[in-house]
Amino acid sequence: MTQFDPHHPSQAHGDTSPSSDLSSPPSSRRTSAASRVRRVLLGAAAAAAGVLVWQVGAYAFGGAEAAVVIAAPKVDEPVTGARTETAVFAGGCFWGVQGVFQHVKGVTKAVSGYAGGAAKTADYETVSGGATGHAESVEVTFDPQQVSYGKLLQIYFSVAHNPTELNRQGPDSGTQYRSAVFPMNEAQRSVATAYIAQLDASHAYSKPIVTKVEKYTGFYAAETYHQDFLTEHPTYPYIVINDLPKVNDLKRLFPSLYRDTPVLVKTASK
């Protein structure tokens, strides 16, 4: 992410969602001189040309990643009597990834956050610098009796993101937007590793998969204003262009697993 983050709510002039939310932590706003100058210049342009035009222009250089029809994993976790399990996926901006998994039957909670780095650097401003080791990630809690880890991986690779983009996803670039899976145990690691090999061997994509199976060292929930962002701000230009098509693809490609009503962080926490 560059110094000016076009999809950070606090920098999108004219947006009345998180940018004006007094509950947003002060640390979520850029404080560098460079970013302040760029915000002023872009804000002036927005005032002159119209906020909506500016926002669409800022986001339109990206666009939704096209979904890919892929086979289910040949190897999946063994069936046990467990009713709850956790998985962590990174695939670009967590708004869209969270939004997809919140619409999957069997998922009981999907939280946006950071994985791959240390606790002390797990905040949006620091992670956006690209040097923390963190990736914007989503922690998915699910009922393996309803949806398996392998099926979540299929959705992740097919709908939630493009696994062939290295250190970027759509309009966002930087290692914090990398494609990565953080297995919680050896069973998940085996399934993820085997599935990547399966997809590569089948040439399901026109380019090689760059997704890394990384060591899980902890997950840190993102700031409150990032949670449930897709559902709460469906007309936000970045969401309209990059993320709502992913939810539609989930419904189209996985109709038996799609749920109309998303399971939200605020609801699941009650």
Catalytic residues: 93
- Please count the other Cβ atoms lying within 10 Å of the Cβ belonging to residue 205: 15
Our measurement of the distance from residue 113's CA atom to the centroid of its chain's CA atoms, rounded to an integer in Å, reads 9
Q: Look at residue 226 and give its three-state secondary structure.
A: helix
Cα–Cα nearest to 193, from 181, 203, 206, 179: 181
DSSP class of 142:
E
Q: CA 64 to CA 201: how far, in whole Å? A: 26
- Reported as type and span, the H/E element at residue 90 is strand 85-91
Please identify which residue in the block is written with the tokens 């002036």. 44
Tokens of 254: 């996985």
According to DSSP, the β-strands at 219-221 and 135-142 are unpaired
Tokens of 250: 């989930």
